[in-house]
Structure 1
Amino acid sequence: MTDTGLRPLNHVVAICGGSEADRGLLAAAAGFAERNGARLTLLSVIEPPAEAKAAARAAGVSLDVALERLAEERRAHIRSFLPRDLDPRIEIRTGRRFVEVVQFAIAEQADFVLKTAEPLAGLQRFLFSSTDHHLLRKCPCPVWLLQPDASTTQRRIVAAVDVDTQGAEEPGTLSGLNRSVLDAALRIASGPDTTVDALHAWDAAGEDLIRRWSDDPHAQAAAQDYAATAQNRRAGALGDLVDEAAARAAASGLTAPRVLPRLERGGARRIIPEWLGKVEAETLVIGTVARTGVLGVIIGNTSEDILNSVACSVVAVKPPGFVSPIAPLPSSAGTPSR
C-alpha cells in the first residue's frame, strides 16, 4: 500500500443553498479542488413546498414550468455571488435534498462532497441537522461539513483512527478505513504548514481485570506489563500507519503536511473532543464504523456521539466497500434543471 500513492481526486461537489452565506464554502471548495487538480461542480437542490402544485395552477402554469423558473432563478442567484475567476459547472436539482445529493454523487462519481453545516434550530450547542446526518450516513464518498465561520485554510487537523484491529469484526475493513481517514486528512490539508494529528484513543480493559481476578501477589506488575504491551502494540501500529501515509503522499507528489502520531489513553468519546479543543483544530476527520456491503449502514454509536459533541468542521469517511442505502438513479433518470 505504501507505493501506490493517494487515490486521485477528479471531481469535487459543493452543495449550495443559494444564499450569500455560501461564500465561505465556495472559497474553500474552489481552493480544495484547485490544490487537488479536480473539477468543481456546484449542486443546489430545490425542495418544492407542499403547496407548489396548487400555486402553479393558480398562476396558470404547469408545475414543471414553475420549477424550471425556480431553477433558473437559483442558478442566476448563485452566479451573482461567484468570484469573477470562478466558473464552475452549476447543477440544479429538484427533490429531497439528501437523496438528490447522494444520487448525484453516485452518478457523477464524486470524490468529495462539501457543504456548510446546518445546526438544529433552537439548541444552545451545535448539532448537525437531519440533512447533514443523512449525508454523513449515506453518501458513499467523504463528506466535508464546514462550520459557517470556518477558515478557508486548514492549519490543524485531527484524524481519528482506530489501530486496534485485533478485536475488529472486519480487520481488513478497519485497516482500509484508517488509511482512508489519513488520506482524506492529507487531501484537505492546506500544505506543509498544516499539522495533522493522527489520534488514537486506546485503553487496556484487561489491566483492571487482572488486578481483580488474580490471586498472584505479583498481579500489580502483571497488570502493568499487560497495559504496557497493549500501549506498545498500538504505538507501533500507529507509527506504521503514519509512515505509510507519508509514503503514499510522497508517491503522489503531494506537498504533505506534518503528520504526528498521537496516542492518548481513554475512551474515544472523551479523548477526541478534548484533543480537538486542546489543539484548537479546525477539522476532525473520522471514519464511520460499519460492516461492508450491507444496505442501510449507519454511523457507529461512538462516531455519532463524537459528531454530536464537537464544534469544528467534520469530514466523515466511509469504509472500503460501503454500499449506500440510497439506490443510484438509472443513467437516463434524474431531475436536473434544463
Structure 2
Amino acid sequence: MIKYNNILVVIDPAVDEQASLHRALDIARLGQGVKLTLFLAIYDFSYEITSILSAEERDEMRSGVVNYRQEWLQAMAEPYLTQGFDIVVKVVWHSRPFEQILQEVEAGHHDLVVKGAHHYNLLQTFIFTPTDWHLIRRCHCPVLLVKEHEWPMHGQVLAALNFSDEPVQQALNEKIVREAQQVAQLLKSELHLVNAFPCPTINIALEVPGFTPEIYNDAIRQHHINQMAEYAARYHVPDDHTHIREGLPEDVLPELALELDAELVVLGSVGRTGWSAALIGNTAEQVADEMSCDLIVIKPDADEAE
C-alpha cells in the first residue's frame, strides 16, 4: 500500500532510546518486505590530530571504533532479526554525518529517512546548520523526523499546503497530499488539509476609489478558501477536515496539530541554501523545531526544482 520499502534509520549513539528505530519498526510492521538499514556516522577529532601515533596506527584505531559500533548496532538489531525483520547495519567514519546520510540515500536507493528530531537553540543554529536542517534542505527522499508522540491507529494526519502561484509549489502540494494520503491509509487515520497564510496589513493610504485594507484582506482569504476547496474536492477530503488559518506556518501548524492531537504532519520544503538559509531560515525547519508530533518533510521532484 505504501512505498516505504527501503528505509534508512539514522542512529544516535548519544541517546539510550532510539526513537528513529522504534518508528521505523512501526512502519515495517504495517507493511510487507520492508528493509531497514541502521546507519551510524561516527567521528572523533582526537584520532586525527594526535602526533604520537603513526598514520597506520590511527587507521587501526578508527577501524577498531567502527568495528565496536558495528557490533553494538548488530546487537541492537538482533532481537528484531529473530522476529523476522529485514535489518542490515552500517557504520562509517566521517566528520560530517549529513553528507554520509545523503550519499547513503543515493547509493542505497532509500525511499525514506527516519531520524530522531533534535531541538536546537538560537545560538547553535547560528553557529552551524544542524544535521536535521541539512536533510530537510537537501534530501530528495522524504525525511521523517521523530518526536515523542506515538502513532495510534485511527488518529489524525495533517497535510500542510502552500497556495503560492509558483508551479514548483503547486506540484509540491500535489506530492504532499498524495504522501499524506498514503500514510493516513497505512495508519487508518483521518486526513486533514491545512493552509496557513500571513495576511498583509496595509497601512499606506492608496488612492484607489473604494479600496480598504479590509477588502484586500478579505480577497486574500477568499483566494485561500477557494484553493483549499479545490484540493478538498480533488482528494475527497470532507469540509470539516480542511483548515484555513491566518498566521505564520511555524505558529499555526504546531497549534493545530496540538488541537487535533495529530500524530503526523506532512509538509514540503523547497529548501533555501547559502546566506538566505543562514539569515532567514526555512519554514520547514522552523516548523520542525516547534512541532510536538512527528513530521515528514518532502521536496519537489528534481526536475521540478530546477
The TM-score range, normalised by the shorter chain, is 0.7 to 0.9
The 1-side partners of 2:304 and 2:33 are apart by 24
Return the match for 2:264 from 279, 283, 294: 283
Counterpart in 2 of 1:39?
34
Provide closer, same or farther for how the CA distance between residues 48 and 227 of structure 1 changes in structure 2, counting only shifts above 3 A: closer
Give 1:79-98 correspondences, 5 Å limit.
Answer: 79-82=77-80, 84-94=82-92, 95=94, 96-98=96-98
* 8 Å CA contact 1:159, 1:182 repeated in 2: yes
Alignment of 1:287-306 (within 5 A): 287-290=268-271, 301-306=282-287
**Match runs of 1:191-206 below 5 Å:** 191=186, 193-205=188-200
- Answer yes or no: is 1:185 the counterpart of 2:166: no
Q: C-alpha separation between the residues in 1 aligned to 2:247 and 2:46?
A: 52
Residues 118 and 272 of structure 1: CA distance in aligned 2, closer, same or farther (over 3 Å): closer
Q: Which residue of structure 2 lines up, in the alignment, with residue 242 of structure 1?
A: 232
Deviation string, structure 1 residues 126-146 (Cα, Å, up to 9, x no partner): xxx822222222222111111
Q: For residues 89 and 259 of structure 1, do their structure 2 counterparts lie closer, same or farther at Cα, with a shift above 3 Å needed?
A: farther
Instruction: Call closer, same or farther: CA 1:68–1:204 in 2, change over 3 Å.
Output: closer
Distance 2:219 2:16 in 1: 54
Corresponding residue of 1:314 = 295
Question: Is the contact made by 1:160 and 1:200 (CA closer than 8 Å) also made in structure 2?
Answer: yes
User: Which of 220, 245, 251 does residue 230 from structure 1 map onto?
Assistant: 220
Quick check: 1:196–1:259 contact (8 Å CA) kept in 2?
no
**Structure with more of its chain in helix, by fraction:** 2
CA drift at 1:287: 1.2
Q: 1:204 to 1:150 in 2, by over 3 A?
A: closer
Does the 8 A contact of 2:198 with 2:248 survive in 1? yes
The equivalent residue for 1:133 is 133
CA distance in 2, matches of 1:225, 1:144: 40
Matches within 5 A, 1:42-61: 42-52=37-47
Say whether the 8 Å CA contact 2:160–2:267 is kept in structure 1.
yes
Q: Which amino acid aligns with 1:14?
A: V
Distance 1:259 1:297, change over 3 A: farther
Q: How far 1:203 sits from its partner (Å)?
A: 4.9
Deviations 1:9-65 (A, max 9, x none): 44222222356512x533421332454545222222141322346698798982464
2:75 aligned to 61, 74, 77, which one? 77
Q: Which amino acid aligns with 1:159?
A: A
State the shift of 1:286 in Å: 1.9
Give the Cα–Cα distance (whole angstroms) in 1 for the partners of residues 23 and 41 of structure 2.
Answer: 23
State the alpha-carbon separation in 1 of the partners of residues 304 and 217 from structure 2. 37
Spell out the pairing of 1:203-222 with structure 2 (5 A cutoff): 203-205=198-200, 208=202, 212-214=205-207, 216=209, 218-220=210-212
Q: Distance in 1 between matches of 2:107 and 2:185?
A: 29
Are 2:253 and 1:272 equivalent residues in the alignment? yes
Counterpart position of 1:126: none
Distance of 1:195 and 1:322 partners within structure 2: 31
Distance 1:74 1:80 in 2: 10
From 242, 262, 281, the equivalent of 2:243 is 262
| Superposed displacement of residue 175, structure 1 | 0.9
Residue number in structure 1 paired with 2:17: 21
- Note the C-alpha offset of 1:314: 1.8
Q: CA deviation at 1:304?
A: 3.1
Change (3 A) 1:270 1:36: same
- Root mean square deviation of aligned Cα: 4.0
Q: Is the 8 A contact 2:149 2:292 kept in 1?
A: no
Alignment CA distance shift 1:160-1:107 (3 Å): same
Percentage identity across paired residues of the two chains: 18
Local SS of the residue matching 2:80: coil
- Which 5+ residue runs of structure 1 have no aligned equivalent? 1-5, 124-128, 166-170, 248-256, 325-338
Letter in 2 for 1:234: H
| Amino acid corresponding to residue 144 of structure 1 in structure 2 | L
Partner SS state of residue 24, structure 2: helix
**Count of equivalent residues:** 292
User: Match for 1:69: what amino acid?
Assistant: N
Q: Contact between 1:194 and 1:258, CA under 8 Å: does it hold in 2? A: no
Match for 1:178: what amino acid?
N
**d(CA) in 2 for partners of 1:87 and 1:189?**
23
Offset at residue 310 of structure 1 (A)? 2.6
